[in-house]
Amino acid sequence: DASDGTGASGSACVDGSDWTGASGSACVDGSDWTDASGSACVDGSDWTDASGSACVDGSDWTDASGSACADGSDWTDASGSACVDETDSSFASASSRIRVFDWSST
């Protein structure tokens, strides 16, 4: 099911609304979580990725591998997996998929 997946820590992901990120922080409705570097994420609008790059409104940021991210539509995560149109991504610590997480929904 494209709407269900498993996060980096092995926690279940249902409709992109309830999962646990790489650091073990709880994620509810994709609005409050902590990424691999421990940075706080609120409403997906302000956070810092593993490399310390700033992320604002999910529209312009650079991930851990240094790939440019524009409008959340094309980027490469820390493990080198390609992410296109916010629908397919891999977390640094696992090859899991989250198909329904919208970085630019703020």
pLDDT tier for residue 78 given thresholds of 50, 70 and 90: very low
* pLDDT, mean of residues 49-55: 43
CA distances from 65 to 38, 53, 76 (A): 17, 11, 7
Angstrom distance (rounded) from CA 53 to CA 19: 23
For the chain, the structural domain boundaries read 4-84
The predicted structure's pLDDT at residue 86 = 37
**Taking the alpha carbons of 105, 71, 84, 65 in that order, is the dihedral positive or negative?**
negative
Average of pLDDT values for 68-90? 40
Check residue 61 and give its pLDDT. 41
CA dist., res. 22 & res. 56, Å (int): 20
Where residue 48 falls among pLDDT bands split at 50, 70, 90? very low
